[in-house]
Every structure is written in structure tokens, then in C-alpha cells.
Amino acid sequence: MSKVIGVVCEGPTDYEAIKRIVDMIAQEDNEFLRLQPEESLEGQFGNGWKGVWKWCEKYATILHDYMRKATPEIECLIVQMDGDVSRCEKEVHCTCEFTACSHSGVVHPLSCRICKDGKCPVSLPCRDHETDGYAMHLSGLIKTWLCLSAEPSPVIITIPCDSIDTWVAVSYGDLTERCEQHPDPWNSIIARRAYYHSIRIQGDKKRVPIYEIFAEKVCRNWVTVKACCPQAQAFESAICEKLLT
């Protein structure tokens, strides 16, 4: 039976991929509501990983009421953030054990002037969360931002590593080993040239029509993607647990 699924993600191309992958796994057409980013990308929180963080904190204390009172009522919430956020962004490491900063815990990381001025003492890669810890790190943060307890919840968290672009590159056969350790597959593989497998790439900008094609390819080769990318398998397992049981 189809579900109403809310999606909080970094951008429109991520949303496109998530919708198609979920429907492919569930083997039915679900109804999706794009909660973040908003259609204009200039909404209350903007887009990107910071927008996901801000949305989670905004709705954490009212999440279940928000889902219940939505029209239509939201039965499941998917929250996506790419693993490269843990690899690249100092703000998400503000409270890590090896971070020594007098502002930690006092100033919100997204509002920290020290970070904005390029003087943040966080050193990357973070020794607490190097490659294999990216997904665990960000999943833990999102659970904290959403105030999720250990009890079962209607929330699916997915952290593609390094990004959903990894799943695309794997689906086309351009990544086959240590796939989730490959940094920035968009710029290093997909957008290196004007065409990617006969698909026109306009600069480094990701576009929804292109990602519609990419998402279909990912779905067709999902078995291979899962075999190469543990976070793809984790996403499917969560979908099966939350939507199909």
C-alpha cells in the first residue's frame, strides 16, 4: 500500500533520486512531499546541508504533530545528507573530542563568527570521524537535531557516501572499488567533461533533468550499487523496515 513520504534533503537532484529509489524498492508509486529545500530554493532555510540542519532543529520538538497535521498526513520522513559534509565541513565537528575551542557549546556552529572568518580550530579530516565514520557521525547528529529517542520512529536517515553522485558513478561502472572512499565524484568523474556517457553536462551545475536520467540508471543497476556502497544497502534496509513491514 502506497505511503505519503516527506523528504528533507540537500537539493532538488537528491530529491529526484530519493523518490525514484524508494518507489523502485517499494515496487509502487508513493506520494512524496518535498519539505526541504522549498521549491524556490530561497525559502526559510535555503538549500544544502545547512538547510537540512536548520529544518531539523526547527521542527524537532513538534515533528510528530507536524507530520500528523500535514495535508496529506505524512506517514514517513526521509532525511538525507551527503557524507561529504562530514569530510569537508568544520561546523559538524564543532563538538568532537579533539576540537578545542572556547566557543564550542556556547555559540551555534552555523552562527559562529570564528568559523565564518576562517579561524575555526577544527582540523580535517577529523580523527573522530574519518572515512568509515562519516555516515555514523552525520546520522548521530541528525538524530540529535531531531531529538529522536531510541524508540522506533517514522524517520529514515540516509547518508550517501561520498554523495548520491557515488551511486550514479557506480551505476555507470565508473567506480568499482572503495567507492564510498572516493572524494567528490561529481567533479572528479561525472562533470570532468562536457558529456558523461553521452549526457550533456553544463559546467559543474547539477540539473534535475539530468538527474532524472541518472536516477533511472541507478535504479536499473541498484543491485550493483548496493554491492559497492554499504550506505545504499542501509537505505534499502531502512525503507523495507519502515515502509514494507
Per-residue pLDDT of the chain (245 residues; tens, 9 = 90+): 799 999 999 999 999 999 999 999 999 999 999 999 988 766 789 899 999 999 999 999 999 999 999 999 999 999 999 999 999 999 998 888 777 787 777 789 999 888 888 888 888 888 877 666 899 999 999 999 999 986 788 999 999 999 999 999 999 999 999 999 999 999 999 999 999 999 999 887 899 999 999 999 999 999 999 999 999 999 999 999 999 87
DSSP assigned state of 74: P
Q: At a CB cut-off of 8 Å and minimum separation 6, what does 109 contact? A: 91, 92, 94, 115
This prediction has a pTM of 0.95
Between β-strands 155-158 and 199-200, what pairing exists: parallel, antiparallel or unpaired? unpaired
